């Protein structure tokens, strides 16, 4: 099985004045094509930092990140940005939708080639048929997260990274969002979710635990 994500001995050190914070301390993390991985662990354990490395939103202080066989450190800034945009979808805890834009416009925003029909098709896929022209304020939290998942699919990524995707949702909506992500995974999408929620983690095929910047299987 091909590894979509292969992180080797990754360290991330933040300097805060005199103080150094080791957010990651020698993490090894592999995610195979088509798999569904959950990362759990207490607040501050380095989960978001790890996800940011997997999505080239940040680079390690030391160690290697290889995505789909390409070593990120050997790519130019433009190549990194292109890889991020074309292959990776992001879903966040607070949805991060633009409040002035409709569901359809939010989905179109990251598209490399803006396409209204495609935006509608993706919204249909996540169960939002007929709600194309609603503003985020006219949707429930669960529906907003569906729009955010639709947006993450805008450029047909091969990998979706979701940071606490159910963190703002009640139990019923959390379950629906996890079922939607599971469906995408059944369709071949590789998924990594960071979560505090054991119910959400149960949907994944594999769970790793983080603590103090290290991974425990
Ligand atoms: P988690 O997502 O598990 O809550 P994070 O990856 O966000 O943890 O953070 C890991 C550690 O790194 C924490 O101690 C956090 O305060 C620190 N940290 C994260 N981002 C930054 C930053 N940009 N600058 C300084 N410290 C940071
Ligand atoms: Mg976090």
Q: SS3 letters for the chain?
A: CCEEEEEEEEEEEEEECCEEEEEEEEEEEEEECCCEEEEECCCCCCHHHHHHHHCCCCCCCEEEEEECCEEHHHCCHHHHHHHHHHHEEEECCCCCCCCCCCHHHHHHCCCCCCCHHHHHHHHHHCCCCCCCCCCHHHCCHHHHHHHHHHHHCCCCCCEEEEECCCCCCCHHHHHHHHHHHHHHHHCCCEEEEECCCHHHHCCCCEEEEEECCEEEC
Tens of pLDDT, residues 58-98: 999 999 999 999 999 999 999 999 999 999 999 999 999 99
The confidence score (pLDDT) of residue 1 equals 66
Percentage of the chain surpassing pLDDT 70?
100
Distance 164 CA to ligand 2 centre (A): 7
Pocket test for ligand 1, best of 10, 14, 193 (most atoms within 8 A of CB): 14
C-beta of 49 in contact with ligand 1 (< 6 A) = yes
pTM over 0.85: yes
Tens of pLDDT, residues 181-209: 999 999 999 999 999 999 999 999 999 99
C-beta of 46 in contact with ligand 1 (< 6 A) = yes
């Amino acid at each position: 099985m091909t590894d979509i994500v292969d992180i080797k001995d990754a360290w991330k050190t933040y300097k805060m004045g005199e103080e150094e914070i080791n957010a990651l301390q020698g993490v090894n993390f592999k995610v195979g094509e088509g798999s569904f991985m959950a990362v759990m662990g207490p607040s501050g354990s380095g989960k978001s930092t790890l996800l940011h490395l997997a999505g080239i939103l940040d680079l390690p202080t030391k160690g290697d990140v290889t995505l789909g066989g390409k070593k990120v450190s050997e790519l130019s800034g433009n190549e990194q940005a292109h890889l991020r945009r074309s292959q990776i979808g992001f879903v966040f805890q607070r949805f991060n939708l633009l409040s002035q834009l409709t569901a359809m416009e939010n989905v179109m925003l990251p598209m490399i080639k803006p396409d209204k029909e495609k935006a509608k098709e993706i919204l249909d896929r996540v169960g939002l048929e007929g709600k194309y022209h609603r503003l985020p304020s006219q949707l429930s939290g669960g529906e907003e997260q569906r729009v955010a998942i639709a947006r993450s699919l805008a450029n047909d990524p091969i990998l979706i990274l979701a940071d606490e995707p159910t963190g703002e949702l009640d139990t019923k909506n959390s379950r629906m969002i996890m079922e939607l992500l599971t469906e995408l995974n059944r369709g071949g999408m590789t998924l990594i979710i960071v979560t505090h929620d054991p119910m959400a983690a149960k949907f994944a095929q594999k769970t790793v635990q983080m603590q103090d910047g290290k991974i425990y299987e």
